[in-house]
Each structure stands twice: as structure tokens, then as C-alpha cells.
Amino acid sequence: MGNTQPEPTVYRIAIPGLLRARGRPRFDNGRTFTDAKMVQAEKHIQHHAMEQIGKDNKSWQQ
């Protein structure tokens, strides 16, 4: 009785530029939002990850 689950795929990517820690959500008028610098940093990471791994990779659609 062995484990029949496949090993998860591991990717190593390089993101150029300065690191930015994930900040806390901001609150205003009872609503939460992510500041513009964090949104831009997330887009930067996503762009480089998709460029290196590939846009058509099935693991992006989980």
C-alpha cells in the first residue's frame, strides 16, 4: 500500500528588483483595501513568474 499521489511540481523563479514585504490591509470607512504599492508589487511578481514558468502552465489555474 504505497502512496499513489504524484509529487508536487516545484518551481524556482528569480524576481528582479527590491523585495517588498506583504503589508497589512488598510481600513477606511469600514472597508479593507490593499495599498497601491502592494498591488503593483504583486503584479510585478506575477508577471515575472508567468514569464519564467509559462502562461499556459496548468498549475496557474488551481
What distance in Å separates the CA atoms of residue 35 and residue 31, rounded to the nearest whole number? 13
In tens, the pLDDT along 14-54 reads: 999 988 888 888 888 888 888 888 999 999 999 999 898 88
pLDDT grade for 56, boundaries at 50, 70 and 90: low
According to the model, what pLDDT value does residue 33 have?
Answer: 87
Name which residue leads in pLDDT, 55 or 28.
28
What distance in Å separates the CA atoms of residue 8 and residue 29, rounded to the nearest whole number? 42
